[in-house]
């Protein structure tokens, strides 16, 4: 940001009557919607907009600061003179300040200089700015989101691709650390450069969607994007808004959907950001028992304030409308739902009924989901929610929160705990691998192995597997086979698909050199083949959220740690059978119950040499016999590979 004038000039007094040459983008209806919390496209009104007024080109600025005594625009254009361009406050008690400044266009750097009613002076970036300076600079930049989109075919068929009865395999990634230049490892790839690298990789590995950790502007890179100051701006670290649009468009042209992480739960206390924006607790609760997040040392939005609801819901609509995002993964929903989240007794305030539920946040979440699906019925909202709160993915009209899906955090925790045990001890924790099916259909669940599972000393997924090197890789492969054949959609964090051996480090590229080694190549090929299987077998996705789509054939063999289950689609001819042997002991001539009479062929074997497995029992075909087993009238004999998973399908 350019150096500011050292001389601080007081602002002139501000008139509250309508000036003769007044220019505004707000109508009375806009103001009514804003005050009632129902204005869902505030980005068309607030912020900076290049316009023509009375034949003169310039920029219109509008900011919400109801407790300010005076507000002005300062920037390079006026030498950061705080007195030269005072704004006018609207006469309708909306708290909105406006000004039209001739001669300013895209690229102009600016901030708002605010004098609060208490006399406090603040310099704030624009909450609705469409572009920001690259951190550590903090000013806003006049910009637009004009882009000539050419992804029409994708948008027309998106309702089919994003449907709940279609496969969704999500590649979760942190933009700044997926890959970096070999020549300049400290430099980020731009949005446009990423298109050249990421798209071929996603097509090769077969993921249906990519999920970006927050790309909204954030001042502190180690926050991974979860401490946002510029809610309406794509991070300038990687390019312009149009550069991000280009990346999304290219992903769409190649059949890949885009999910953006969205953070309506909290924001940082940086002095140029939302915190105490006009000298008061404008966006956050004034009572820090409700307004401060002890875990992240950040501030919680005041969901009971109508104008704040308009801000947040407008932001969600903005990314879906202007950037063609195909979904929003909503971060830290549990922290929003409960007033006592991460708080000790006496550190929180009960709701009006004496309970711990945050009624204002619950109301906001429902309104957010209703607004999103009303405007974009072909997208998905996904909740990161870790509690037993009921109806997270049920429609609002049925009393739910209205999300399309919910992360299955309990499954993730139980599964990793089970697989982390030495196989000799797994029989004592058998319920850990079977318990999830007791509640798997209470919500529309997405199965996540996310970034949170490979940080803070937890180690990589590979490192968490027990045994020697061969067993670690075998465990990881069968873990992924279990994941992809378990009911629910899938989410895998970057690096897990190549068996990254070290924890994720946001300051460097993934360890792509590992693919020089056969075990890592094998895991990558395993994930690729699982994605292909998932997308091609309707039984794995048509009834992902329906109990009719899953049946235990044998779920109680704790002694041998063998699991057998069936996945079902709309057509019984597409049913598949899954057999898991979760010990390193090969099991020969093993009888299993079969869902139907016929010849069953192994179509995927995690122990195949193709995946760096032992290859002991490849190319098996199981013939049904009229021998009752596992409660089925038909059964067959087969060989179970060590630490292996098999997927079978009836061929006759």
Kindly report, residue by residue over 418-471, the tens digit of the pLDDT: 999 999 999 999 999 999 999 999 999 999 999 999 999 999 999 999 999 999
The predicted model gives 264-286 an average pLDDT of 96
What one-character-per-residue DSSP string does 200-260 give? HHHHHHT-SEEEESP-EE-S-GGGTT-S-SEEEEE-GGG--HHHHHHHHHHHHHTT-EEEE
Helix pair angle (241-253, 152-161), 10° resolution:
60
pLDDT band at 367 (very low <50, low <70, confident <90, very high): very high
Residues 223-256: tens digit of each pLDDT? 999 999 999 999 999 999 999 999 999 999 999 9
Output DSSP code: residue 400: S
**At residue 2, does pLDDT exceed 70?**
no
Domains detected in the chain: 28-142 (2.60.40.10), 547-651 (2.60.40.1180)
pLDDT band of residue 1 (cuts 50, 70, 90) is very low
pLDDT above 70 as % of the chain: 97
Of the candidates 265, 480, 549, 531, the residue with the CA atom closest to the CA atom of residue 383: 265
Mean pLDDT of 260-280: 97
Does residue 4 have a pLDDT over 70? Answer: no
pLDDT, tens digit, for every residue of 67-111?
Answer: 999 999 999 999 999 999 999 999 999 999 999 999 999 999 999
pLDDT of amino acid 22: 75
Average pLDDT, the chain: 94
How far is Cα 238 from Cα 254, in angstroms, rounded to an integer?
21
Determine what percent of the chain falls in helix, strand and coil, rounding each to the nearest 5. Answer: 30, 25, 45
Task: Kindly state the average pLDDT of the residues 194-200.
Answer: 97
Residue-wise pLDDT tens digits, 624-652: 999 999 999 999 999 999 999 999 999 97
Question: What share of the chain in percent tops pLDDT 90?
Answer: 93
Count Cα neighbours of 132 within 13 Å in the Cβ-side half-sphere: 30
Query: What residues are labeled active site?
Result: 331, 384
Confidence (pLDDT) at 11 = 52
pLDDT of residue 21: 53
pLDDT of residue 184: 82
User: How high is the pLDDT of residue 652?
Assistant: 77
Above 90 in pLDDT, residue 126? yes
pLDDT of residue 64: 98
Quickly state the pLDDT bin for 5 (edges 50, 70, 90).
very low
Q: State the virtual CA torsion across 411, 414, 420, 426 in degrees, nearest 10.
A: -120
pTM: 0.94
Q: Quick one: tokens of 340?
A: 């006592």
Please give the pLDDT value at position 182.
79
Of 508, 479, 478, nearest in space to 494 by CA: 508
- 9 falls in which pLDDT band (50, 70, 90)? very low
Per-residue pLDDT, averaged over 307-336, amounts to 98
pLDDT at 183: 81
Span 409-416, mean pLDDT? Answer: 96
The answer to whether residues 491 and 483 touch, using CB atoms and an 8 Å cutoff, is no
């Amino acid at each position: 940001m350019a150096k500011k004038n050292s001389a601080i000039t007081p602002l002139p007094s501000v008139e509250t009557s309508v000036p003769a040459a007044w220019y505004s983008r707000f109508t009375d209806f806009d103001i009514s919607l804003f005050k009632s919390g129902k204005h869902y496209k505030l980005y068309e009104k607030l912020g900076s907009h290049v316009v023509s007024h009375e034949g003169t080109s310039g920029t219109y600025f509008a900011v919400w600061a109801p407790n300010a005594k005076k507000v002005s625009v300062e920037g390079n254009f006026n030498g950061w003179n705080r007195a030269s361009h005072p704004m006018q406050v609207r006469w309708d008690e909306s708290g909105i300040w406006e000004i039209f400044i001739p001669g300013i266009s895209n690229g102009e750097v600016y901030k708002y200089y605010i004098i609060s009613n208490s006399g406090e002076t603040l310099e704030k970036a624009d909450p609705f700015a469409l572009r920001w300076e690259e951190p550590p600079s903090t000013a806003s930049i006049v910009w637009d989101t004009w882009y000539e989109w050419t992804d029409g075919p994708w948008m027309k068929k998106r309702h089919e691709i994003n449907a709940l009865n279609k496969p969704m395999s999500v590649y979760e990634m942190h933009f700044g650390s997926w890959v970096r230049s070999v020549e300049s490892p400290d430099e980020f790839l731009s949005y446009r450069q990423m298109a050249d690298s990421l798209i071929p990789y996603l097509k090769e590995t077969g993921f249906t969607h990519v999920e970006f950790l927050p790309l909204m502007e954030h001042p502190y890179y180690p926050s991974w994007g979860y401490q946002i100051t510029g809610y309406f701006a794509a991070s300038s670290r990687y390019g312009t808004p149009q550069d991000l649009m280009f990346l999304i468009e290219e992903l769409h042209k190649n059949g890949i959907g885009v999910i953006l992480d969205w953070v309506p739960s909290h924001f940082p206390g940086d002095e140029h950001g939302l915190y105490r924006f006009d000298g008061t607790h404008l966006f956050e609760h004034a009572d820090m028992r409700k307004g401060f997040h002890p875990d992240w040392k950040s501030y919680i939005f005041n969901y009971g304030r109508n104008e704040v609801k308009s801000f947040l819901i407008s932001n969600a609509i903005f990314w879906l409308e202007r950037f063609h995002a195909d979904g929003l993964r909503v971060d830290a929903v549990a922290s929003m739902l409960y007033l006592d989240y991460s708080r000790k007794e006496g550190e929180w305030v009960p709701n009006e009924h004496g309970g711990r539920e945050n009624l204002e946040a619950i109301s906001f979440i429902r309104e957010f989901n209703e607004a999103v699906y009303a405007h974009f019925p072909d997208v998905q909202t996904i909740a990161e929610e870790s509690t037993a709160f009921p109806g997270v993915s049920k429609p609002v009209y049925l009393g739910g929160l209205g999300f399309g899906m919910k992360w299955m955090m309990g499954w993730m925790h139980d599964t990793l705990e089970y697989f982390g045990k030495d196989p000799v001890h797994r029989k004592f924790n058998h319920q850990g691998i079977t318990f999830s099916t007791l509640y798997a259909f209470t919500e529309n669940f997405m199965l996540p192995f996310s970034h949170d599972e490979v940080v803070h000393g937890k180690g990589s997924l590979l490192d968490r597997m027990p045994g020697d090197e061969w067993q670690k890789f075998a465990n990881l492969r069968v873990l992924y086979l279990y994941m992809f054949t378990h009911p629910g959609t899938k989410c895998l964090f970057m690096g897990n698909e190549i068996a990254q051996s070290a924890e994720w480090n946001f300051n460097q590229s993934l360890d792509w050199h590992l693919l020089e080694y056969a075990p890592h190549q094998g895991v990558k090929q395993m994930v690729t083949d699982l994605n292909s299987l998932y997308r091609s077998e309707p039984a794995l996705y048509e009834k992902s959220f329906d109990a009719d789509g899953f049946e235990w054939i044998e779920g109680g063999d704790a002694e041998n740690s063998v699991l057998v289950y069936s996945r079902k689609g709309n057509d019984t001819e597409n049913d598949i059978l899954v057999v898991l042997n979760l010990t390193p002991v090969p099991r020969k001539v093993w009888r299993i119950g079969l869902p139907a009479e016929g010849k069953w062929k192994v179509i995927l074997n995690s122990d195949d040499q193709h995946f760096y497995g032992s290859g002991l029992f490849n190319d098996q075909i199981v013939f049904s016999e009229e021998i009752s087993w596992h409660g089925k009238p038909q059964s067959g004999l087969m060989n179970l590979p060590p630490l292996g998973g098999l997927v079978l399908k009836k061929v006759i």
